[in-house]
Amino acid sequence: MELHASYIQILALALFAIGIAVALTRRNVFFVLMGVELSLNAVNLSFIGFAKTLAFEASIAGQIVPLFTIAIAAAEACVGLAMIILIFRSQDSMDIDNYSNMKG
C-alpha cells in the first residue's frame, strides 16, 4: 500500500510539536536537549517526505540535506552535553530554571 505523502508530514508535525513541548515544559536540562533533538529529526523527516513526492533526480537534494543535518546535530549534541556537564559541576543542579545567574 502506497504511503501518502501528507501522512508523513502529519507525523513530522506531531514529532516537532512533541519536541517543542518537551523543550518548553520540562525543567530537567537533559529533557530540554532531547526535545530539541526530537524537533530537529522531525524536520529531517519532513524533508524526506517532501523528497518522496518529487521525481528521482529532483529528490536528491531533499535526501541529502537530512544527512548534513544529522552530522551537524551530532556535533551540536556533543558540545551541548559537554556544556551541560560543566554547568552541572558548577551549579550542582539539573534544573534549567536555576541556570539564570548570568546577570549582565
Partner 1 sequence: MIPLWLIPLFPLLGAIILGIISLASSDSQKGAPEFLLGFIGLLFPLLSFMAVLSLSFGGANTPIQETLGTWIDISFLQIQFGFLFDSLSKMMLLFVTGIGSLITWYSIGYMKHDRGFARFFAYMNFFLFSMIILVLADSLPLTFLGWEGVGLCSYLLIGFWHKDSQNAIAGNKAFIVNRVGDIGFLIAMLVLLSVGGSAFLSYEGLNAGLAGLSQAELVKIIPALALAAFFFFFGCTGKSAQIPLLTWLPDAMAGPTPVSALIHAATMVTSGVYLLARLSNLFVLVPSVLSIVLWIGLLTAFWAAVAGLFQNDIKKVLAYSTISQLGFMFMAAGVAAFDVAIFHVFTHAFFKAALFLGAGAVIHSLSGEQDMRKMGGLIQKMPITAIVMLFGFFAIIGFPGFAGFWSKDLILEKLFEFGAMGPYLYAFALLTAVLTAVYMGRLIIMTFFGSYRGSLEKSESIHDPSFSMLVPMLILTIGSAFAGYLWATLIPGANWFEQTLAPVLSSAQNHIHVQSVIHLSPLVFALVGTVAAFFGLFLAWFIFNRPVPLSKDSSDPKGFGASWTFLWDTIHQWTSVFLVKMASWFMSVVVNHFVLFVQWLLVGIVEILSDGARAIQVRKVRLQMGLSFVGILFVILIVYVYGGAV
Q: Report the interface residues with partner 1, using CB under 8 A.
A: 20, 23-25, 27, 32, 96-97, 99-100, 102-104
Q: Pick the closer one to partner 1 by CB: 52 or 94.
A: 94
CA-wise closest residue to 30 among 85, 99, 69:
85
- Minimum separation from the CB atom of position 38 to partner 1 (A): 14
Choose between 23 and 73: whose C-beta lies nearer to partner 1: 23
> 6 or 25, CB closer to partner 1?
25
Contact yes or no for 9/46 (Cβ under 8 A): yes
**Cell numbers found for residue 9:** 508530514
